Every structure is written in structure tokens, then in C-alpha cells.
Amino acid sequence: MSLAGKNIVIAVCGSIAAYKIAHLTRLLVKEQAKVQIIMTKEAAEFITPLTLSTLSNNPVLIDYFDPKTGEWNNHVHIGLQADLILIAPATANTIGKIANGICDSLLTAVYLSAKCPVFFAPAMDLDMWKHPSTQNNIHLLQSYGDILIHPKNGELASGLIGEGRLAEPEEILEFITNHFSEQLPLAGKNALVTAGPTHEAIDPVRFIGNHSSGKMGYALAKELERLGAHVTLISGPTVLETPDDVHRINITSAQQMLEQVENYFIKSDIIIMSAAVADYTPIEVATQKIKKKEDSFSIALKKTIDILATVGSEKTEKQLLIGFALETNNEIDNAKSKLIKKNLDFIILNSMQDKGAGFATDTNKVTIIDRHENIQEFSLKSKTEVAKDICQLIIQHPILNSK
């Protein structure tokens, strides 16, 4: 799940663990989050504001106003604009203040102004962490709805070993990512997408294939992931880059695709079969390159197993199955026949007669038919936009909304 565009405020307190915030900031910026850092005066003794300002691409805020320019740092605006506030490292001192409503710094004022979720990641020595007053303050924060990122067990700055270490930046990033994922419409759903062509070997250097680029399937995988699904992408040969956070499995032949689909199908809530799978494959594959000898040449072929029909015969009432149809004539009738025959919930129809649609283009023009034969026609759009249209129908489908 991408954090792109999310406004994340990191409130840094005075702890030796503040050095970890430099790495965390880099991780968040790499995820395209907008990071605003607020520090206490004590925190600036452990890591310089210049370091964090450089990494976050934003000025670091410490005081309510800049005494040199008189510019006001509006704590209410900062708190209301944030999608999430992370207090890290959260010291015993700051935890005590915000738990009891003490407002004596820009950091505590932003906390009290916030309407967004607040995470706090404590960092302190073992005895301070275990002290009843600290634990009571933590319980108070949790009762307000604030979310604890539990400190880790390990060697502490004092030399003691035990709880109190600030969670590692990667762990905090995962915590934040999971939070936003849970708010997405497909959070908790498993999606399986097939994409691209298959190549059916004739000999070691030749194959039977088609012109599929895989662009439509990759756009769907990316959009499903953006909406919170855990996506497995089974891909035929293509030059496309794997979308972020998508689990990609590379295959070459129709048989290999069948095997991988069978491996992942059973645990998938959403199955989108957009790959252009070969209908036929050579009965025998030559072990050596076939030499050019005769004026004419023929290859004996056999049918491949129909993966979409196989999945359709096995799917449960809780699984949503979507297929694609690329037609050159009698488009609607052929698509409806395929929809029923293969037990699909939707079929996405492409016509080779539509300019800008079909293989290897960046655009597509689709007609979507559901199992009740309701038809929706869409205009020519980028494949990214087509993927969004398809995913909106997925989100609204009763199968995914039934309890």
C-alpha cells in the first residue's frame, strides 16, 4: 500500500533514539509521504533540525513562532492537516504531558489540536518504562484512542538490557502502512491477477505467442494494491516493471500459468484473468533448433487446458471471478456466451475493431457485462483509468460486501 500524498507529522522528543528518525524520514519520503517534523528543544540536542529538514524537504518546527521573522507556526492548522501524527521517540516526560493535557510546547499543542490518529513510540530506560506512572500515562493515552507502538527488548543506552528501545524505523513504517491499508475498501482481500502472453515452445529458440504486452493486467494489479488488496500477479513474458508491493510470479507457458493459478486460486477473493493464454501448444517440442529445409512446414498442435473455465468450475460463492474477451466479430454475443459458459461474475470485452484498444497500446475501450447480462460501455481511456473503472465495480459487488 502506498503512502503517497499522506500528511505525516513526526513529533521528535529528547532521546538518544532520535537518531533513528533520520532513517524513518527517508523511508517515508521514499514512499512519497509528505513529512512535517516537529521537535522539542531537547530533541534538537540529539539530532540537528538541519538534518531532518534536509531529509524531509520541509523546515523543522520547534517553537510557536520564529523570533527573527515573527512567522507563526499555527499548531491548529498543523494538527488538522495531518493524516497521522507519530510521536517518536516518545519520552516519559512528553508522554506524561500529553496524557494529562499539559500544553507547554508546539509539540504538545499540535497533539491537543489533532483530529487524526496519533501513534506514539516510547523510548526510555527500563526502569522508567516499568514505572507505574509511565504505565498509567500510557493507559491514559490508549483510552483516548492513541495507538502504542510497543518498545523493543534489547540493550539500552544505560547499559541495561530490557524493554525500552525505540522500535526500528522499518517496523514503524510497517505499522503506519498497515494503518492506512486497514482503511482501504479492499483491505484484507487477496487478489490474483494473470497478465501478459504465454509462449509455447516449438524448439529451443522459437515459440508460438501473441502480441499481449501485459499492460492491462499490470494496471489492474497496481490499482488493486492501491485499494488495499494483497495482490499476486502471475505474468507471462513482458518488459513491464512489477508494481510496488505486488507479489509477481513469472511463467512462460500456458501449463506453467495453470499450475501457478491452481496454487493461488483457492485463497483468492478476487480473480482477474487478463492474460492472453495460448489456445494451442505443440504436441512435441524439438530438442534442437529446427533447420530450414523444406518449402512448407507444419507443426502438430494440441489444445491447452482452458484455465478460465477450470477456475470457473471450481470457484466458490465467496469468490469474484473476472475474465477478458478479445473479439473481432459478434462481440457482445460471444462475450455473453463466454460469461455463462465459464461461470464468470464479469467479463471485460475488448473489440479489435475499436481504435486504440487491444494489444500493446496504452489505452483501452471496454464493455463490461455482469452475470445478469447488464452491459456497461466505457469510452476510450488509459489502461490506468480502465483499471479504476473495473475496480470500482469490484468494490461494489455484493460478493465482497456479504458478511
CATH of 7-182, one of 3.30.465.10, 3.40.50.1950, 3.40.50.720, 2.60.120.260: 3.40.50.1950
End-to-end CA gap in the chain: 24
CATH code 3.40.50.10300 region(s) in the chain:
190-401
CATH code 3.40.50.1950 region(s) in the chain:
7-182
Which residues lie closer than 8 Å to 370 by C-beta, 6 or more apart?
345, 346, 393
Which residues lie closer than 8 Å to 216 by C-beta, 6 or more apart?
195, 274, 324, 364, 383, 386, 387
d(CA 202, CA 250): 20
Contact (CB, 8 A) for 379 and 353 = no
Collect the ranges in the chain with pLDDT lower than 70. Answer: 1-2, 69-70, 156, 158-160, 354, 356-360, 402-403
For residue range 93-122, list pLDDT tens digits in order.
999 999 999 999 999 999 999 989 999 999
Contact (CB, 8 A) for 217 and 198 = no
Mean per-residue pLDDT of the chain: 90
Active-site positions read: 210
CATH of 190-401, one of 3.90.10.10, 3.40.50.150, 3.40.50.10300, 3.40.630.30: 3.40.50.10300
For residue range 368-392, list pLDDT tens digits in order.
999 999 999 999 999 999 999 999 9
